[in-house]
């Protein structure tokens, strides 16, 4: 940046001076350049009161202006002002047609924003501000226009030409070229524009909507991937039906297309009628795809589909409102996945992400409210806070209103704002209006950052039979927000008497939602004969940290008796965390450790119990991750955490060996692969048992893993076995299996990513050298975000002992990668910086090394806005 990038503030929002009612685009795609012609039909915005309105068109240094006309008259350069990234016109008539001709270079666009090439095909990514890399346009979400798009390209190389809406015309052109025209009747913001041109094949299906309209469903991919599209298609149809049943929302166009591309910065994009997906979020086949990836495909396909209402029909006024569509849509997709699979498992997994990663973000230098007040680069705000915490906030509204009133609220929201670009305030207002509930205090969730903390204590008076729960709330300061006001927090609780029975609370229910609104509140329960054990934050009813002085025995009691599945799992987690934290605090290398027997007893009970849901058994028996233990630590001792976790796993395995093997054998049944919840649960439990067993370092379990690998007919079992052996002490076997795996799967890019990740996350010494060698391997491609994530991000986030090596080598490595990527792909560069931004959590010597790494990026020369924002906030 020649000058410091500008900060954009929400308080500066102004309505657009001009509206663009219709946009006609023409693309001529060539190998060395692309020509874009754009015709914008504009008119004065009656809501803009300015006396001297200006039309600001956003562009980009990569967009070369060839000509500009107003109502057919070519403008001289003196008739507009062109600055680095804008083109401003003044004194425009009330209505006009603006015509521009521009040249762009998708063939050399490595930022993967705007129009670019992925493995030989053209595709687009316009959210948030990518459309301005295609042509000059008022590229802001509150300018909504209908689009008519003509694409012309070479017929042999690009037989398939797609854009939003319906195909209305097509024909042949000279020199072996052809063209098509698409028309999208729904006005949309430019960020939802899409174009695809390539040699693609497709599968087709159809869906009949609630009102009886037939919709064509098409999923496009390269020919070699045609066998991996069925699951996405099934997921799409399920999502369409679910949205009709649960939200009364129908699809609106006659065609819905999904295209799979290999080079993509994120998971997928909800462009109107033409979703573009990262191959990792759409391709699924048992042989090449793990259970986790199957579930991701189902969730992401649904998420993008749900955006058609929460995002496209009702869109965001400005980018500060991003959580309006993302938080709501994540809530919708999470509920969909819960309905399709196991509700408790889905909740446990989502809470894991919140507690491990979102809480860390909330405590770091990039902390922001779900509706931020300012940003430098909006791409930096596609965060866990906007998405996952945003979804938790919508979930709390659902909890406070109950399902019926929430549905009334969402109906009102969609009806009132259909076709509009609105704000999070409009969402809350609709919820209030439909329910008659007061959400004024609740709004603080939108503008206050940080994770609220609840401190709970209790008292029982045996004389009067009165039980009192005292709840104190506070919220730590975050950048720019020293003091916070009290939040309105729904706290779902239950009370369990010493026999294990649940006490009836309000309206005879076992669960009651307490409304916390003050800094300190006392809740009284009467008529109790003995002191109960409280079951707190049932279902994780609010995104908060809660502390209550549970004894280890009480946690074991809750594990056995709590009727809330989430709390049962949480009790197991808390027990393991408590025991492990004690060991971590006392940890000294070469000193023997002693495991509290109670963890063994508790785990044994779960392994022995008959009839427990296998999915829950495997969740309950999964030890807290190193990342979660780090998040909980005041000062992170990576080595102690790693050693203690290994010790605990080994000790449990030794004590429960017979049971683990028994469970392994029971779950190791020959069955045809199915991605259904119970089959996933079975594999998950089986592989968890294997992970405990292999930690014992016995040959027989190595053989068990090798046998599983050899006979596996699905990628879940194969990948699990490979990963366990590679991360074990059996180095020679690991080498042989890695070589075999690569030989088998080198033609499947997504499977190769697993192979890369398994090696990048291997905690054994020497990981950095292995990572550097992987980056020289032919399978690695430094321009492909999936490869970068599989190697670099996995190393930095999932290999803490090596990334945080005491000599700072991991930090320096990451800094070098960021410096490389800063120019090539700023979005990926800035995202990969995250682990370094957490320097405050580490001991002093490491802090110093992490800061040095950040400074080396800061001082490397010209920084993209993306990287500049994260670096400057991290070093502030
Ligand atoms: N809306 C897109 C994300 C776009 C990210 C732009 N940097 C995917 C989604 O949330 O559905
Ligand atoms: Zn989304």
pLDDT by residue (tens digit) across 350-394?
Answer: 999 999 999 999 999 999 999 999 999 999 999 999 999 999 999
**Per-residue pLDDT at 456:** 99
Tens digits of residue pLDDT in 654-665: 999 999 999 999
User: Residue 808 domain-assigned?
Assistant: no
> Which strands form 95-104's sheet, in the order they lie side by side?
73-74, 64-70, 95-104, 34-44, 18-29, 144-154, 177-189, 166-173
Ligand 1 pocket test: pick from 239, 269, 379 the residue with the most ligand atoms within 8 Å of its Cβ. 269
- How many domains are there within the chain? 1
Q: CA 572 to CA 622: how far, in whole Å?
A: 9
pLDDT band at residue 2 under the 50/70/90 scheme: low
Question: Nearest-5° angle of CA 624, CA 627, CA 628?
Answer: 45
Atom of ligand 1 at shortest range from CA of 266: 5
Q: Give start and end residues of each alpha helix (H) in 267-418.
A: 291-306, 322-340, 343-353, 359-362, 384, 390-417
* Residues whose CB falls within 8 Å of the CB of residue 54, separated by 6 or more in sequence, listed in order: 17, 88, 89, 90
Q: Which of 193, 137, 170, 177 is nearest to 29 (CA)?
A: 177
pTM of the model: 0.99
Cα 254 from chain centroid (whole Å): 29
Whose Cα sits closest to atom 4 in ligand 1?
A: 127
Counting ligands in written order, which one lies closest to the CA of residue 310? 2
- Within 10 angstroms of residue 154's Cβ, the number of other Cβ atoms is 16
Question: Nearest-5° angle of CA 707, CA 712, CA 715?
Answer: 130
CA 500 vs CA 404, 512, 556: distances in Å:
32, 18, 11
Ligand 1 binding pocket, CB closer than 6 Å: 127-128, 266, 268-270, 303-304, 307, 326, 379, 382
Whose Cα sits closest to atom 2 in ligand 1?
A: 269
Ligand 1 pocket test: pick from 125, 131, 270 the residue with the most ligand atoms within 8 Å of its Cβ. 270
The 3-state DSSP class for residue 773 equals: helix
| CB 164 within 8 Å of CB 201 | no
Q: How far is the CA of 752 from the centre of ligand 2 (A)?
A: 27
Counting ligands in written order, which one lies closest to the CA of residue 112? 1
Q: How far is the CA of 266 from the centre of ligand 1 (A)?
A: 7
User: Residue 436 domain-assigned?
Assistant: yes
Read off the tokens for 826: 């700023």
Whose Cα sits closest to atom 9 in ligand 1?
A: 269
Residue range 855-871: mean pLDDT, rounded: 97
- Within 10 angstroms of residue 71's Cβ, the number of other Cβ atoms is 11
Q: CA 724 to CA 673: how far, in whole Å?
A: 21
User: Residue 108 domain-assigned?
Assistant: no
Is 304 annotated as catalytic? yes
Ligand 1 pocket test: pick from 123, 130, 268 the residue with the most ligand atoms within 8 Å of its Cβ. 268
Q: How far is the CA of 585 from the centre of ligand 1 (A)?
A: 41
Q: CA 220 to CA 343: how far, in whole Å?
A: 31
b/e 342-380 (16+ beta carbons within 10 angstroms → b)? bbbbbbbbbbbebbbbbbbbbbbbbbbbbbbbebbbbbb
**Per-residue pLDDT at 1:** 46
Q: What is the dihedral of CA 844, 849, 854, 860, to 10 degrees?
A: 150
Q: Which of 616, 615, 673, 756 is nearest to 294 (CA)?
A: 673
Atom of ligand 1 at shortest range from CA of 311: 1
Atom of ligand 1 at shortest range from CA of 113: 7
Q: How far is the CA of 839 from the centre of ligand 2 (A)?
A: 30
Q: How far is the CA of 102 from the centre of ligand 1 (A)?
A: 26
Residue range 406-411: mean pLDDT, rounded: 99
User: Residue 387 domain-assigned?
Assistant: yes
Catalytic hit among 24, 222, 270, 304: 304
Beta-strand relationship, 268-269 and 274-278: antiparallel
**Per-residue pLDDT at 4:** 87
The 3-state DSSP class for residue 495 equals: strand
Q: CA 201 to CA 184: how far, in whole Å?
A: 23
The 3-state DSSP class for residue 2 equals: coil
Counting ligands in written order, which one lies closest to the CA of residue 125? 1
Tens digits of residue pLDDT in 726-740: 999 999 999 999 999
Q: How far is the CA of 176 from the centre of ligand 2 (A)?
A: 39
Q: CA 158 to CA 118: how far, in whole Å?
A: 13
Counting ligands in written order, which one lies closest to the CA of residue 378? 1
Q: How far is the CA of 33 from the centre of ligand 1 (A)?
A: 27
Q: CA 341 to CA 489: how far, in whole Å?
A: 28
Crossing angle, helix 749-760 and helix 731-745, to 10 degrees?
160
| CB 10 within 8 Å of CB 446 | no
Q: CA 366 to CA 368: how far, in whole Å?
A: 6
Q: CA 758 to CA 722: how far, in whole Å?
A: 8
Q: Which of 834, 36, 869 is nearest to 360 (CA)?
A: 834
Question: Nearest-5° angle of CA 817, CA 819, CA 825?
Answer: 85
Q: Which of 524, 370, 383, 386 is nearest to 445 (CA)?
A: 370
Q: CA 722 to CA 733: how far, in whole Å?
A: 10
User: Residue 516 domain-assigned?
Assistant: yes
Whose Cα sits closest to atom 3 in ligand 1?
A: 269
Ligand 1 pocket test: pick from 111, 116, 125, 127 the residue with the most ligand atoms within 8 Å of its Cβ. 127
Q: Percent of the chain having pLDDT more than 70?
A: 100
Q: How far is the CA of 484 from the centre of ligand 2 (A)?
A: 29
Counting ligands in written order, which one lies closest to the CA of residue 277? 1
Domain containing 355 equals 324-333+344-547
- Phi then psi for 763, rounded to 5 degrees? -75, -5
CATH of the domain at 451: 2.60.40.1840
The total number of residues written for the chain in this structure? 876
**CB-based burial label for 275 (10 Å; 0-12, 13-18, 19+):** buried
Q: How far is the CA of 328 from the centre of ligand 1 (A)?
A: 13
Q: Which of 274, 167, 260 is nearest to 217 (CA)?
A: 274
Tell me which H or E stretch contains 269: strand 268-269
Atom of ligand 1 at shortest range from CA of 128: 6
b/e 90-110 (16+ beta carbons within 10 angstroms → b)? eebeeebebbbbbebebeebb
Residue range 840-863: mean pLDDT, rounded: 98
With a cut of 90, say whether residue 57 has pLDDT above it: yes
Task: List residues bridging with 178 in a β-sheet.
Answer: 153, 172
Q: How far is the CA of 613 from the centre of ligand 1 (A)?
A: 35
Q: How far is the CA of 68 from the centre of ligand 1 (A)?
A: 31
Atom of ligand 1 at shortest range from CA of 265: 7
- Within 10 angstroms of residue 727's Cβ, the number of other Cβ atoms is 18
DSSP category for residue 314 = B
Crossing angle, helix 230-247 and helix 322-340, to 10 degrees?
100
User: Residue 190 domain-assigned?
Assistant: no
Atom of ligand 1 at shortest range from CA of 330: 10
Q: CA 626 to CA 678: how far, in whole Å?
A: 27
**CB-based burial label for 441 (10 Å; 0-12, 13-18, 19+):** middle
Ligand 1 pocket test: pick from 326, 333, 377 the residue with the most ligand atoms within 8 Å of its Cβ. 326
Tens digits of residue pLDDT in 126-137: 999 999 999 999
Whose Cα sits closest to atom 6 in ligand 1?
A: 127
Read off the tokens for 331: 């809530």
Q: How far is the CA of 838 from the centre of ligand 1 (A)?
A: 24
How much is the mean pLDDT over the chain?
98
Counting ligands in written order, which one lies closest to the CA of residue 301? 1
Q: How far is the CA of 775 from the centre of ligand 1 (A)?
A: 28
Ligand 1 pocket test: pick from 133, 188, 266, 332 the residue with the most ligand atoms within 8 Å of its Cβ. 266
Atom of ligand 1 at shortest range from CA of 379: 7
- In SS3 terms, 454-476 reads as EEEEEEEECCCCEEEEEEEEECC
Q: CA 763 to CA 570: how far, in whole Å?
A: 27
> Which strands form 512-516's sheet, in the order they lie side by side?
512-516, 489-496, 533-536
Atom of ligand 1 at shortest range from CA of 827: 7
Whose Cα sits closest to atom 1 in ligand 1?
A: 269
Atom of ligand 1 at shortest range from CA of 303: 11
Tokens 């990981």 found at:
767
Atom of ligand 1 at shortest range from CA of 267: 8
Whose Cα sits closest to atom 8 in ligand 1?
A: 269
Q: CA 555 to CA 575: how far, in whole Å?
A: 6
**Per-residue pLDDT at 506:** 85
Tens digits of residue pLDDT in 479-510: 999 999 999 999 999 999 999 999 999 888 99
Tens digits of residue pLDDT in 322-341: 999 999 999 999 999 999 99
* Residues whose CB falls within 8 Å of the CB of residue 610, separated by 6 or more in sequence, listed in order: none
**Per-residue pLDDT at 557:** 98
Whose Cα sits closest to atom 5 in ligand 1?
A: 127
* Residues whose CB falls within 8 Å of the CB of residue 38, separated by 6 or more in sequence, listed in order: 23, 24, 25, 26, 98, 99, 100, 102, 135, 136, 137
Q: Percent of the chain having pLDDT more than 90?
A: 99
Whose Cα sits closest to atom 10 in ligand 1?
A: 326
Q: Which of 458, 554, 568 is nearest to 514 (CA)?
A: 458
CA atoms within 13 A on the CB side of 481: 23
Given its phi and psi angles, is residue 241 left (phi above 0), alpha (psi -120 to 50 degrees) or beta? alpha
Residue range 763-779: mean pLDDT, rounded: 98
Counting ligands in written order, which one lies closest to the CA of residue 275? 1
Q: CA 447 to CA 465: how far, in whole Å?
A: 41
User: Residue 648 domain-assigned?
Assistant: no
């Amino acid at each position: 940046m020649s000058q410091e990038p500008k900060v954009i503030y929400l308080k500066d929002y102004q309505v657009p001076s001009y509206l663009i009612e219709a946009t006609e685009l023409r693309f001529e795609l060539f190998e060395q350049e692309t020509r874009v012609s754009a015709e914008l039909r504009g008119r004065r915005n009656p809501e803009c009161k300015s006396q001297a309105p200006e039309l600001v068109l956003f562009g980009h240094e990569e967009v070369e202006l060839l000509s500009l006309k107003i109502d057919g008259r070519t403008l001289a350069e003196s008739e507009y002002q062109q600055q680095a990234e804008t083109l401003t016109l003044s004194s425009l008539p009330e209505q006009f047609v603006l015509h521009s001709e521009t040249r762009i270079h998708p063939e050399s666009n490595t930022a993967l924003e705007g129009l670019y090439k992925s493995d030989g095909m053209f595709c687009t990514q316009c959210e948030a501000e990518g459309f301005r890399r295609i042509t000059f346009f008022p590229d802001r979400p509150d300018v909504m226009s209908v689009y008519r798009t003509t694409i012309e390209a070479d017929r042999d190389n690009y037989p398939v030409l797609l854009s939003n809406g319906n195909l209305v015309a097509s024909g042949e052109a000279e020199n072996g070229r052809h063209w098509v025209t698409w028309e999208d009747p729904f006005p949309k913001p430019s960020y939802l524009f899409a174009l695809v041109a390539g040699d693609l094949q497709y599968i087709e299906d159809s869906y009949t909507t609630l009102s009886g309209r037939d919709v064509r469903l098409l999923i496009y991919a390269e020919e070699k991937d045609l066998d991996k599209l069925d699951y996405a298609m099934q997921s799409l149809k399920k999502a369409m039906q679910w949205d009709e049943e649960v939200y009364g929302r129908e699809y609106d166009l006659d065609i819905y297309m999904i295209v799979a591309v290999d080079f993509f910065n994120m998971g997928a994009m909800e462009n109107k009628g033409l979703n573009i997906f990262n191959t990792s979020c759409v391709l699924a086949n048992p042989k090449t795809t793990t259970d986790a990836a199957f579930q991701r495909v189902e969730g992401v396909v649904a998420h993008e589909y749900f955006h058609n209402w929460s995002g496209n029909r009702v869109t965001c006024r400005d980018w500060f409102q991003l959580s309006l569509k993302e938080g709501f849509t994540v809530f919708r997709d999470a509920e969909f996945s819960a309905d399709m699979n196991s509700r408790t498992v889905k909740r446990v997994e989502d809470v894991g992400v919140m507690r491990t990663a979102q809480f860390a973000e909330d405590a770091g230098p990039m902390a922001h409210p779900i509706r931020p007040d300012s940003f430098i680069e909006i791409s930096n705000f596609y965060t866990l806070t906007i998405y996952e915490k945003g979804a938790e906030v919508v979930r709390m509204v659902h909890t406070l209103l109950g399902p019926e009133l929430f549905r009334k609220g969402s109906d009102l929201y969609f009806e009132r704002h259909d076709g509009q670009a609105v704000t999070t305030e409009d969402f809350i207002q609709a919820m209030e209006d439909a329910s008659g509930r007061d959400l004024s205090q609740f709004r603080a969730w939108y503008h206050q950052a940080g994770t609220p903390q609840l401190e709970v204590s209790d008292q029982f008076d045996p004389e009067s039979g009165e039980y009192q729960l005292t709840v104190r709330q506070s919220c730590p300061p975050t950048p720019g927000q020293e003091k916070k006001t009290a939040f309105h927090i729904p706290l779902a609780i239950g009370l369990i008497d010493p026999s294990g029975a649940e006490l009836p609370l309000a309206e005879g229910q076992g669960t009651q939602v307490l409304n916390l609104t003050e800094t300190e509140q006392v809740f009284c329960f009467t008529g109790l004969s003995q002191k109960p054990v409280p079951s707190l934050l049932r279902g994780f009813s609010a995104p908060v940290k809660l502390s209550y002085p549970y004894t280890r025995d009480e946690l074991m009691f809750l594990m056995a008796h709590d009727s809330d599945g989430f709390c049962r799992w949480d009790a197991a987690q808390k027990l393991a965390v408590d025991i492990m934290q004690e060991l971590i605090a006392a940890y000294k290398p070469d000193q023997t450790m002693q495991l509290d027997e109670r963890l063994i007893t508790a785990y044994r009970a779960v392994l022995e119990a008959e009839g427990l849901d296998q999915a829950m058994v495997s969740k309950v028996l999964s030890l807290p991750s190193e990342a979660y233990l780090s998040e909980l630590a005041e000062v992170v001792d990576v080595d102690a955490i790693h050693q203690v976790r290994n010790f605990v796993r080994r000790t449990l395995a030794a004590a429960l060996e017979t049971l683990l093997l028994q469970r392994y054998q029971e779950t190791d049944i020959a069955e045809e692969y199915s991605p259904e919840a119970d089959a996933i649960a079975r594999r998950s439990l089986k592989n968890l048992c294997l992970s405990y067993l292999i930690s014992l370092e016995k040959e027989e379990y190595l053989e068990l893993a090798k046998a599983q690998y050899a006979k596996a007919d699905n990628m879940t079992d194969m990948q699990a076995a490979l990963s366990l052996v590679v991360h074990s002490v059996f180095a020679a076997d690991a080498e042989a299996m890695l070589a075999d795996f690569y030989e088998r799967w080198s033609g499947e890019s997504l499977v190769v990513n697993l192979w890369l990740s398994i090696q990048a996350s291997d905690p054994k010494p020497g990981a950095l050298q292995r990572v550097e060698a992987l980056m020289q391997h032919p399978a690695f491609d430094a321009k492909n975000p999936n490869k970068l994530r599989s190697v670099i991000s996995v190393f930095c986030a999932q290999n803490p002992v090596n990334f945080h090596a005491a000599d700072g080598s991991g930090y320096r490595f990451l800094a070098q990668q960021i410096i490389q990527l800063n120019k090539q792909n700023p979005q990926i560069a800035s995202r990969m910086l995250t682990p370094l931004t957490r320097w405050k959590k580490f001991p002093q010597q490491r802090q110093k090394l992490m800061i040095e790494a950040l400074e080396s990026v800061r001082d490397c020369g010209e920084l993209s806005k993306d990287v500049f924002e994260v670096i400057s906030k991290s070093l502030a």
